[in-house]
Amino acid sequence: MSELLELEGRIRACTDCTLSRTRTNAVPGEGPENPRLVFIGEGPGFYEDHEGRPFVGAAGRLLEQLLAGIGLTRDQVFITNVVKCRPPENRDPLPGEVQACRKYLEHQLRLLRPQVVATLGRFSLGHFFPQETIGRVHGRPRQTGDVTIYPLYHPAAALRSSTVRKALEDDMKRLPAVLKESGLAQAGMQPQVTSAESTTQQLKLL
């Protein structure tokens, strides 16, 4: 069994915080074992809790649409969350819950070794840059070690506000260029391309 699958089993059985008492299923995340791109949301909602899979509700449908817009499908990327169990009534995760789950996200990222991590929303951004605000840094890629962090608004916020939706759509369009530049950065080369790529070119990137 792969280390990623073993980790998934540990997450599904975890009782390290009180969210484990109210969940139906823990939601470890899903996707290929060697993705170039990982999306990190906040935490499972109602449908995710029932299915044990991330982003299967309305926010997930928007995420899939946005991915399709840049020539990607969800099975080409790894999708996970900051907390792996649903907070009751979809409330914000508490600091202790985020802290209890932190080890799992860190372990997943060590195993997945993506080129780009796209954070969705403020909790996911806070995992990497606790001092930053999403309104200030969305759409601005930042290199940390071998990984490029690309902060995005959360799709659920985009469903509530047309301004946020426009910003998320614009930022997503730049994701292929971010992926390409991060690949060049890993290879120790100077990025040449800064504009958005065509869909055909993007497909070649994954």
User: Which one of the spans 6-14, 56-64, 101-109, 160-168 is the region binding ligand URA (CB under 6 A)?
Assistant: 56-64
3-state secondary structure of 13: coil
Q: Is 67 in the site for ligand URA (CB under 6 A)?
A: no
Q: Say which DSSP state 121 is in.
A: S
10 within 8 A of 84, measured Cβ to Cβ: no
66 Cβ neighbours under 8 A, 6+ residues apart = 155, 168, 169, 172
Q: Which residues of 61-77 are buried (b: 16+ CB within 10 A; e: fewer)?
A: ebbbebbeebbbebebb
Q: Is 48 in the site for ligand URA (CB under 6 A)?
A: yes
Q: Smallest gap, in angstroms, from Cβ of residue 58 to ligand URA?
A: 8
User: Which one of the spans 38-46, 97-105, 110-118, 128-136 is the region binding ligand URA (CB under 6 A)?
Assistant: 38-46
Residue nearest to ligand URA (CB): 41
What count of residues does the chain have?
Answer: 206
Torsion of CA 79, 85, 89, 94, to 10 degrees: -100
Sign of CA dihedral 61, 67, 70, 76: negative
Rounded CA separation 11/154 (Å): 23
- Binding residues for ligand URA, total number by CB under 6 A: 13
Q: Is 43 in the site for ligand URA (CB under 6 A)?
A: yes
Q: Smallest gap, in angstroms, from Cβ of residue 121 to ligand URA?
A: 6
Q: Smallest gap, in angstroms, from Cβ of residue 83 to ligand URA?
A: 9
Q: Smallest gap, in angstroms, from Cβ of residue 41 to ligand URA?
A: 3
User: Which one of the spans 4-12, 15-23, 57-65, 169-177 is the region binding ligand URA (CB under 6 A)?
Assistant: 57-65
Q: Is 93 in the site for ligand URA (CB under 6 A)?
A: no
Q: Which residues, 184 to 203, sit near ligand URA by CB under 6 A?
A: none
Q: Is 81 in the site for ligand URA (CB under 6 A)?
A: yes
**What is the CA angle 205-175-79, rounded to 5?**
85
Q: Smallest gap, in angstroms, from Cβ of residue 92 to ligand URA?
A: 11
Phi, psi of 19 (to 5 degrees): -60, -25
Q: Is 59 in the site for ligand URA (CB under 6 A)?
A: yes
Give me the residues that bind ligand URA (CB under 6 A), please: 41-45, 48, 54-55, 57, 59-60, 81, 156
